[in-house]
Amino acid sequence: MSDDLRSLTDLDRLIHEPARLLIVTILSTAESADFLFLQRETGLTKGNLSAHLSKLEEGGYVKIEKTFKGKLPLTVCKLTASGQKAFQGYRQQMQAFIMQTK
Amino acid sequence: MSDDLRSLTDLDRLIHEPARLLIVTILSTAESADFLFLQRETGLTKGNLSAHLSKLEEGGYVKIEKTFKGKLPLTVCKLTASGQKAFQGYRQQMQAFIMQTK
DNA sequence: CAAACTAGTTTGTGTTGCAAACCATAAAGT
DNA sequence: ACTTTATGGTTTGCAACACAAACTAGTTTG
């Protein structure tokens, strides 16, 4: 079997998880996004979104900055360089998979 | 945001799991494959392969037939119609994702 | 007949994804 | 003033999962 296919087993799980793939995809086009924006766009619960963002942050894929908008908390997220690279890598791996199957 | 992207969150987890995606991909081209062949091709441990095949069987994506080759057990697996359909659906969803991102 | 091999399955464990409950602050109602 | 209600999240509890190691049942080899 082709190595491209076998490489499926080492897909980056941090990105492969659908909820995070969605988050990262949005961030890849948005330059930066706040928590509530991400929640609306993804449809995730706050709890889930918070947990996934924390994982992405731990992995170094997302930078999270907590500030205030007026008097309310504001959490702003953006993809790091490493996050962008990981996303592109994932995308390419998936593209290879698509092209090798039928 | 586009519905195609948001639909990432309802990717079929049974197929999305990399080890199973690999198994299903192999089965989608192989008509039928025995346990040891799958193990060689996927590089999974026996335990893992066994567990993933059981899940695919429970989900109705794979039919498993246990027979003998001479005196040794022989486990033959094949994708069901439902499994093929699920695989195609997954592939199309991923293709849509690839095409919508950059 | 004992050791080693074959073809798997079951068990144990740490990790995860998810929703529900919670928390701190701020605005609104009475 | 003071008690709800809303805002913007985080923490907790739990079932499900992925994985490797241990086990099982039968077979061949020495």
CATH number, residue A36: 1.10.10.10
Q: Which residue has the higher pLDDT, B57 or B2?
A: B57
Give the mean model confidence (pLDDT) for residues A69-93.
Answer: 96
Give the mean model confidence (pLDDT) for residues A43-60.
Answer: 97
Q: Is residue B23 part of a domain?
A: no
Residue A75 has a pLDDT of 97
Q: Is residue A102 part of a domain?
A: no
Give, as ranges, the nucleotides of chain C with any atom within 7 Å of a protein CB: 6-11, 16-21, 25-27
Q: B3: Cβ under 7 Å from strand D?
A: no
- Residue where the block lists tokens 């987890």: B13
Q: Is residue A43 part of a domain?
A: yes
Task: Place B51 in a pLDDT band, splitting at 50, 70 and 90.
Answer: very high
- C1' of C12 to CA of B101 (Å): 41
Task: Place A102 in a pLDDT band, splitting at 50, 70 and 90.
Answer: confident
B4 pLDDT exceeds 80? no
Q: Is residue A83 part of a domain?
A: yes
What string of DSSP letters covers B15-73? HHSHHHHHHHHHHHHHS-EEHHHHHHHH---HHHHHHHHHHHHHTTSEEEEEEEETTEE
Given a contact cutoff of 8 angstroms between Cβ atoms, the answer to whether A96 and A11 are in contact is no
Q: Which residue range forms the structural domain that includes residue B79?
A: 32-94
Mean pLDDT (chain A) is 95
Q: Is residue B10 part of a domain?
A: no
Task: Place A1 in a pLDDT band, splitting at 50, 70 and 90.
Answer: low
Interface predicted TM-score (ipTM) over 0.90: yes
The secondary element (H helix, E strand) that includes residue B77 is strand B72-79
Q: Is residue B14 part of a domain?
A: no
Q: Is residue A40 part of a domain?
A: yes
Structural domains of chain A, count:
1
Asked if A101's CB is within 8 angstroms of B6's CB, the reply is: no
